[in-house]
Amino acid sequence: MKKKRISITDIANELSVTPSTVSRALNGGGKVSEKKRQEILSLAKKLGYRPNPIAKSLLENKTHTIGLIIPEFTHHFYSRMLAGIESVTSKAGYQLLICTSNEKQKQEIKSTQTLLDARVDGILATISKMNDKFQHLQEVMDSGTPLVLVDRFSEEIETPYVISDDFNGAFSAVDYLCQSGCKNILHIKGPANLSTTFNRFMGYKEALRKHEIEVKEELILESSDANLVEKIRFCLKNQQVDGAFAYSDYLAFEIYRAASDLKIPIPGSLSVIGYADEPLATYINPTLSTVNQQPFEMGATGANYLLNKINNPDIGLEIRSLETKLVIRDSCTKRAAKECQFS
Amino acid sequence: MKKKRISITDIANELSVTPSTVSRALNGGGKVSEKKRQEILSLAKKLGYRPNPIAKSLLENKTHTIGLIIPEFTHHFYSRMLAGIESVTSKAGYQLLICTSNEKQKQEIKSTQTLLDARVDGILATISKMNDKFQHLQEVMDSGTPLVLVDRFSEEIETPYVISDDFNGAFSAVDYLCQSGCKNILHIKGPANLSTTFNRFMGYKEALRKHEIEVKEELILESSDANLVEKIRFCLKNQQVDGAFAYSDYLAFEIYRAASDLKIPIPGSLSVIGYADEPLATYINPTLSTVNQQPFEMGATGANYLLNKINNPDIGLEIRSLETKLVIRDSCTKRAAKECQFS
DNA sequence: CTGTTAGCGCCTTCAC
DNA sequence: GTGAAGGCGCTAACAG
């Protein structure tokens, strides 16, 4: 059913020249008499000739396509990251082949295989949460396909990555809480095994240390805890909590709920800061202070880096850590104005 | 830098047979002695042979890739739609090449060209808001590349599409409001020129008609109106509005704001229903009743339909309208329990 | 300047 | 059963 696309040979026949000549005329490479070139060009245009990139790919062993593996589509964070990636790749004339892992290792492995089979020129991946093996990523690297990790990385795989500066992001948030007078700051940790969980926790602790506040076990909760909701409630009730820093905006929202149940006013008696600057942060009441990770920029940086690596295979193992932005909204008591951003 | 992938010829040489034989053994097609077949298969496995789809594409004029054009990544709706599409295509062994139009016609045209150049087997598109020309889509169809439109369509282009049943979605929402006693129902319309805007408006009017309520011009606002916020406020203050149906959840949120400013309690004095069931609907206070369009299913349906059309080019111009689900939350006074879904 | 040849990786006749 | 030949669309090297 597909209409036959016209090929270089078609226009060669029409003009009684060889395909080589047409190719040369079209690519400007070799020498072709000006007259022929014009003839060829105009006929090509008239016929609506479009080169077949498949043939070129076969020849050059390049596809001008980059493969992307993301854990899921639905999080705003990944959508923004995707938008950042797309903005760079489309500008550079690369196509984007998309796969998802659904946060499952098995699907991630399948995706890498798919992308390798498709002969993509490079792969951009956010590894899934549950990863404990990395052989599939090692295979990508062994195949010589440039690989750049975004947002999450692992010590076990030696490839460049672009991440957000979680340590400083968390630090700035907790530092802010301390400066505005909070003494008992609750922290809800993220999923175990994630570097982001670890780094945000470290940032939290470091900020407390700076302000000479003791780190109390009772104030640290795990998001995976089946009784999280009750524990938050218990904590707010019994620990004189006056500040809270959550691994995510969604967890911060759980704190809102508990506080609302307990009639603890935010920000009156409790200042809350979340993480990620998801849209919900501006919709809940009071609007939520949070740490913006600049996912668009993260995606764009990763894509740029990958394209760079595709064209200069020798560039080394580089790591980029993107600055975060502390966004203070209505969920915190304001401290004396400083260099942070209000919104 | 890329390591040479091993080819059918490599393994043929190794075994002193011809590539043809290897090809036959691998594809099971022709007759090959069982012994040779085993040798070939095991060597292929040992060497980690993977067929080159590029070569096959060139031969078969098929890429097993479908192209996708969406207006933007950041809306939850499109993310869900994308997830639905991906779930179908990946299961069917098709790749997904992604482009975005950023709601701009110019970029949409460029995207169709890119996808056509890439020789995708079919295109799934959500046309951009601002489209007034459709020649690029006509070109897609003329090229013989199956095209299916999702979420939005135009009368000007004769191709199958999958949309949400906006008329009934709106009707069910407004009908609900009427049944719970609302007499003066505000409607905020969506962007002009979109079929969704039109159909939701029609659903609104039809529901009023059913309940013999007069349609009042003063109760109908345009989202594009520069003074929208003030007009909502004016309306709530002066028109005894007791119900509101907005084109989107975001517009419903504007109504919340105005109501909050005017100290009009929701749902006490005003019932509000939005549209799309965006995440914010569950985060705002009170939680927002809304119409769920099942974007995941819409994407999946579109993808299935496209794959079907790719394999049966003769199937006709079909149109699917997906049912919506009215989701009643806390922003409405409850009516007597009926068949609608609570959440 | 332009035509011929060869080959990217694979598959499909057509002979033997 | 298996090999040889041709071709998908294109480019590069080598002849003229």
* pLDDT at A228 (0 to 100): 96
| Chain B residues inside the 8 Å CB shell of A55 | 58
- pLDDT over 50 (residue A210): yes
Candidate from B1, B114, B279 with C-beta closest to A144: B1
And the tokens for A314?
């020798």
B185, amino acid identity: I
Contact present, B246 and B187 (Cβ < 8 Å): yes
Nearest to A275 by CA among A234, A244, A297: A244
The per-residue pLDDT string of chain B (343 residues; one tens digit each, 9 = 90 and over) reads 678 899 999 999 989 999 999 999 998 766 788 888 888 999 999 999 999 999 999 999 999 999 999 999 999 999 999 999 999 999 999 999 999 999 999 999 999 999 999 999 999 999 988 777 899 999 999 999 999 999 988 888 999 999 999 999 999 999 999 999 999 999 999 998 788 999 999 999 999 999 999 999 999 999 999 999 999 999 999 999 999 999 999 999 999 999 999 999 999 999 999 999 999 999 999 999 999 999 999 999 999 999 999 998 888 788 999 999 999 999 998 765 544 444 4
Confirm whether pTM is higher than 0.85. yes
Tell me how far apart the alpha carbons of residues A91 and A51 are, in angstroms, rounded to a whole number: 19
Q: CA angle, corner A149, sides to A143 and A153, nearest 5? A: 115
* pLDDT at A142 (0 to 100): 92
Which positions of chain D lie under 7 Å from any protein Cβ? 1-5, 7-13
Spell out the CATH class of B63-163+295-321.
alpha beta
Q: Chain B residue closest to A283 (CA)?
A: B284
Neighbours of B295 (CB within 10 A): 25
A119, A216, A278, B78, B199 from A150: Cα distances, Å: 21, 33, 18, 22, 42
And the tokens for B212?
């013999």
Q: What is the dihedral of CA A28, A29, A30, A35, to 10 degrees?
A: 0
For A313, residues 6+ apart whose C-beta sits below 8 A from its C-beta are: A144, A146, B1
| Chain A residues inside the 8 Å CB shell of B51 | 117
User: pLDDT per residue over A304-320, tens digit each?
Assistant: 999 999 998 888 788 99
Count the alpha carbons within 13 Å of A173 in the hemisphere toward its beta carbon. Answer: 41
Query: Phi, psi at residue B262, to the nearest 5°?
Result: -90, 5
- State the fold for domain B166-293+326-342: Rossmann fold (3.40.50)
- Given its phi and psi angles, is residue A48 left (phi above 0), alpha (psi -120 to 50 degrees) or beta? left
Report the sign of the C-alpha dihedral through residues A181, A183, A184, A186, in that order: positive
And the tokens for B300?
């999946």
- Whole-number Å distance, CA A308 to C1' D14? 35
Intrachain domains A63-163+295-321 and A166-293+326-342 with the same fold: yes
Contact residues for strand D with beta carbon within 7 Å: A 4-5, 7-9, 19-20, 23, 26-27, 29, 51-52, 55-56, 58-59; B 16-21, 24, 30-33, 36, 55, 58-59, 61
User: pLDDT per residue over A268-316, tens digit each?
Assistant: 999 999 999 999 999 999 999 999 999 999 999 999 999 999 998 888 7
For B150, residues 6+ apart whose C-beta sits below 8 A from its C-beta are: B81, B124, B125, B126, B161, B162, B163, B298, B299, B302
Domain residue limits, chain A: 63-163+295-321, 166-293+326-342
